[in-house]
Structure 1
């Protein structure tokens, strides 16, 4: 029971009915799953997960109404705080903020981190087509930087029509995360806010595979040095959710700093058969020794979440 799963979702009792009332039934092309703390613990027990750090998936709480988004965010964050209070050994949570309402997002983040003991904040890669790292986000990022916060970046649907027959979660999510990572580096966020610990979902999307190509483009755009930009891209943390395959995992491990790779499942949006498949592939991967698996399973996460020790 040693694993710390940094990519696990929750669907509080008030949240799923609210989404359905707004016509949201399959965000990212995946039907809204069933969820409960009991089911989460049972899943974790099956896969040797001691603690799951919970977060909302896309679409978060912003559906166009700022006051409603702020209210739902507060209810979600209070639910997460109570869940952690009841089972601090099994759960952590990333607080939700109602971007693009910047003032409300700052207020929600500070309240959750200062009053509700959140373990960090989840931010979508893009909201209404504006990617994370846009200069307009600076007040929120500065507030999070002052608190040395962990920021979990989760993809959303692209600001473009989906490809018929290919649900957004299959490929668009990976591109969305890649866009966000590049945009963060383009705008110098890792250097301007060095206390942020930014986790990229799903092994960083396409970033490990395309990092050198993206670096060349950012050099041309910014005039900064190649190695400087490449190191900024390598400076993120990465989770293994849906990425334990024989092709994705070697690419991630060849690119990421070894101490910044974290275990993730994406349950329950990734159903249990998918968790079993990708976790099994990860467990069987011969490119990691026992110490390497332990680092990803637990030790690396303890640097971000020391309370889980």
Structure 2
């Protein structure tokens, strides 16, 4: 069937300077190799997968690789590279700006530059930065500014502060765990309650948050904060948005759709770190799932993202794409 192309909120960019910085330090993405990337390669993939626009972000380990000064320089270079890609093809690309946490002052400065000068579509945050999770009280000024600007924030997992399972790259298990961990940290530290104007997208269907949300809500009110009842915690957990990257499987997709609020599920591919074959597999399940509410599949493909990214709203910026 033909319909307006998808908006992919979980698509990665690999700026050459960033890839070089990782290579110089012997780093990769949690044991996962850094793939080649080019705008033309991304567009070719999108044309094959029924994607009109990819909102690009740098993946783990982000831009704070060692010192604060180097992180500020790398964040600026990464964001300017992404802005140039978008400027050349605004119909096919958007981008989330990277910030050099845990340096909060530098992160605030980069948010201002990226949103006001580069016109980024939002901000990407790693799930933890050198072991510090996103509900850390020291990060409060950043959340306050993101809330003031009504920013869309994309949370991408990083390696948690523990050894990886032997022979197991972090994307296989640890990334799913760390997304869940930082989401719970944001809720239990009150960030989601205090800053209602921030729209937070969790990668990979929120890890195992949808599956375990009622467990979290019930136990948190007993063991963490007796002043908050189950419904309070659950309400904050339901504020999150979720992408479908590596998640639209026969078991995970029903759980995600059962938990997420209407309008809170967004299409994601995780390309090029997830191979195109994975995109084909998960797209098939997205397209053939038999229990959608009327209009829900179109909302996941595009409509829900249009609400978060106003410049992408309206008719598809490219021709309708065959997404069979």
TM over 0.5: yes
1:228 matched to which residue of 2?
232
1:189 matched to which residue of 2?
191
1:57-72 alignment runs, 5 A limit: 57-72=59-74
1:267 aligns with 2:257: no
- 1:217 Cα deviation after fit: 2.5
2:301 matched to which residue of 1?
297
SS in 1 for 2:155: strand
Match for 1:239 among 231, 238, 243?
243
Runs of 4+ in 1 over 4 A off after TM superposition: none
User: For each residue in 1:68-107, what CA deviation from the matched residue of structure 2 results, as whole angstroms up to 9, or x when unmatched?
Assistant: 1110100111111111111111100000001111111111
Q: Give the Cα separation in 2 of the matches to 1:56 and 1:50.
A: 20
SS in 2 for 1:298: helix
**Which TM-score applies when normalising by structure 2?**
0.93
Q: Which moved more, 1:115-124 or 1:163-172?
A: 163-172
Q: Give the Cα separation in 2 of the matches to 1:171 and 1:287.
A: 28
SS in 1 for 2:160: coil
1:177 matched to which residue of 2?
179
1:139 matched to which residue of 2?
141
Q: Give the Cα separation in 2 of the matches to 1:32 and 1:289.
A: 38
User: For each residue in 1:226-249, what CA deviation from the matched residue of structure 2 results, as whole angstroms up to 9, or x when unmatched?
Assistant: 111101101100000000100110
- 1:290 Cα deviation after fit: 6.0
2:253 matched to which residue of 1?
249
1:5 matched to which residue of 2?
8
2:209 matched to which residue of 1?
207
User: For each residue in 1:115-151, what CA deviation from the matched residue of structure 2 results, as whole angstroms up to 9, or x when unmatched?
Assistant: 1101000001101111111111001111111100000
2:42 matched to which residue of 1?
40
**Which TM-score applies when normalising by structure 1?**
0.97
SS in 1 for 2:164: coil
- 1:11 Cα deviation after fit: 0.4
State the aligned residue count: 308
- 1:166 Cα deviation after fit: 2.2
Q: Give the Cα separation in 1 of the matches to 2:173 and 2:262.
A: 25
SS in 2 for 1:265: coil
Q: Give the Cα separation in 2 of the matches to 1:165 and 1:217.
A: 33
Match for 1:53 among 37, 41, 55?
55
Gaps of 5+ in 1: none
Match for 1:278 among 282, 293, 314?
282
Q: Give the Cα separation in 2 of the matches to 1:289 and 1:188.
A: 32
Q: Give the Cα separation in 1 of the matches to 2:256 and 2:199.
A: 18
Q: Which moved more, 1:97-106 or 1:215-224?
A: 215-224
Q: Give the Cα separation in 1 of the matches to 2:234 and 2:193.
A: 13
Q: Give the Cα separation in 2 of the matches to 1:291 and 1:257.
A: 15
Gaps of 5+ in 2: 314-324
Match for 1:114 among 97, 108, 116?
116
SS in 2 for 1:209: helix
- 1:289 Cα deviation after fit: 5.2
